[in-house]
Amino acid sequence: GAVVSQHPSRVICKSGTSVKIECRSLDFQATTMFWYRQFPKQSLMLMATSNEGSKATYEQGVEKDKFLINHASLTLSTLTVTSAHPEDSSFYICSASPDSKNIQYFGAGTRLSVL
C-alpha cells in the first residue's frame, strides 16, 4: 500500500511558540492532502484540505491564520501551528490518496503538547 510519512511524531513546546508538522507521500504524488485533529476519546475532525500550488481550504471554525498550511510540492504538505497555546494540544493527522477510489492513507500522527 501507499505510504504517508508524518514528522515529528511528538512535540512539546512552550506557549506562544510555533510548531511545524510535515506530511510526505513517499511513493505517490498527492495533489490534495488532508489535515485532521483528534482529541482524546473522540473521532477525527477534518481541519483543512491542502491543495498543491494553491491556498488550503479550511473547515468552519478552524482559524487559517493560526493553522498555516503549505503544499509546495506534490509530495509534501506542512501544517504550522502558530503561537501555540495549551488548548491547541491535540493529535494531528494527515492523509493523502494515490488512487481514483479515494482510499486515504494516513500518517502516523503528531502528538502536540503545549505547556
Partner 1 sequence: LAKTTQPISMDSYEGQEVNITCSHNNIATNDYITWYQQFPSQGPRFIIQGYKTKVTNEVASLFIPADRKSSTLSLPRVSLSDTAVYYCLVGDGQAGTALIFGKGTTLSVSS
Report the interface residues with partner 1, using CB under 8 A. Answer: 1, 4, 6, 31-32, 34, 36, 43-46, 49, 91, 93-95, 97, 99-109, 111
3-state secondary structure of 1: coil
Q: Minimum Å distance from CB 83 to partner 1?
A: 25
If the CB atoms of residues 77 and 95 are measured against partner 1, the closer one turns out to be 95
3-state secondary structure of 57: strand
If the CB atoms of residues 6 and 78 are measured against partner 1, the closer one turns out to be 6
- Cα–Cα distance for residue pair 51/109, rounded to 1 Å: 19
Of 24, 34, 48, 26, residue with least CA distance to 102: 34
Q: Minimum Å distance from CB 55 to partner 1?
A: 15
